[in-house]
Structure 1
Amino acid sequence: MRRSLVLLLAAGALVAGCSGTKNGTASSESPFTTGAGSPSTTSALNGSSGSAPKVSSPLRTSSIESDACSALSAAKRSELGLGEGERGTTSVGQGCTLFAADDKLNQIDISPVLANKNGLSDVYDTKANNDYFEPTEVGGYPAVYAASLDARDKGKCGLFVGVTDQLAVNILVQYDNGPGASAPCPVALKVGEAMIETLKEG
């Protein structure tokens, strides 16, 4: 089994949940969540305020919109020590879970946030609902570390990457063992960089 993203969609915004472990398998009972909360009614009706940095060089995203596991090429998965992805449907759409090749308790979920039509700006517009919100860049693309519960010291880190002005991709790291368990956000960053490179290659 794999840990699942649980999405609460209110007024067109996302709260993506992830899980803890139970008897060495995945469950969906952890309170850790990543993503934006509910935007204001004005934002929901009139569109995003465009508060996030613009994506200067939009990427072609049709591949990951139809198959989230195509976000990382086989070569990039190998570089990162990840196995083949497992496709699954979440409330946000099609997602992909990848496990560390040497430890199934270390996993990464990649989900294009298709429900949010204003990309990273929808995440920015609801930053008040997050326990941490740290803008950054990933491979030259705007991004933000964000989650409604700060569990980074427990091996969990949420990262949103704006690949176009209309689409953000959620990278959710959940590491129980190894260096990533104490520093999960650098893992998310590496995955994001590998995703950008994969999408650039087409």
Structure 2
Amino acid sequence: MDPCQLLTPNQLRELGAAQSGKPDQAPWGETLCTWSDAIRVTVAPDTKRRGLTEVYLRKSSYNNFEASTVAGYPAVRADFGEIRCNVNVGVAEDQLLLVQYANNVSRKVEHKDTCAFGERIAAEVLKNLPAGG
């Protein structure tokens, strides 16, 4: 699964994100994708570790940590503030979708609530995940 295909051009336009993503390597060895312009969006699937369990085990390493839900899936907001938010969505027992959102220079009101917007991005990505992970 190419994470740069997990947001369609229409979704990127609606979100106000750059149209072309740049693939890179995640620390756990899978490919991630980053779109960066007025806002920065990174989508990083994690099928190699223990899903949300991994996030909870690392809870003390995050500046902020808050349980949440995205489109009916359990989620965790982590390391969030005025500029950025990491949204970890448990898509299966052992699979995670990490969406990192940062507001680089956008003045759009919808981009100001970093975690709410990060969760909106994650909900859009979930629509494009292949069935069965």
**1:26-53 superposed Cα distances (whole Å, 9 cap, x missing partner):** xxxxxxxxxxxxxxxxxxxxxxxxxxxx
**SS in structure 1 at match of 2:129:** helix
Corresponding position of 1:163:
91
What's the Cα RMSD here? 2.1
TM-score (structure 2 length as normaliser): 0.83
The aligned counterpart of 1:125 is 57
The separation in 2 between residues aligned to 1:172 and 1:180, in whole angstroms, is 16
TM-score by length of 1: 0.57
Within 5 A, what are the aligned runs for 1:187-198?
187-198=117-128
The equivalent position to 2:24 in structure 1, one of 80, 88, 108, is 88
Percent identity of paired positions between Structure 1 and Structure 2: 24
- Please state which structure has a larger fraction of its residues in strand: 2
Amino acid paired to 1:106: I
Kindly tell me the number of residue pairs found equivalent between the two proteins. Answer: 128
Tell which structure's C-alpha radius of gyration is larger. Answer: 1
Is residue 199 from structure 1 mapped to residue 132 from structure 2 by the alignment? no
Unmatched runs of 5 consecutive residues or more in structure 2: none
Corresponding residue for residue 72 of structure 1:
7
- 8 A Cα contact 1:158 1:172, kept in partner: yes
Unmatched tracts of structure 1, length 5 or more: 1-62
Between 1:127-136 and 1:73-82, the stretch displaced more is: 73-82
How far the C-alpha of 1:142 sits from its partner, in A, is 0.7
Pairwise CA distance, 1:200? 6.0
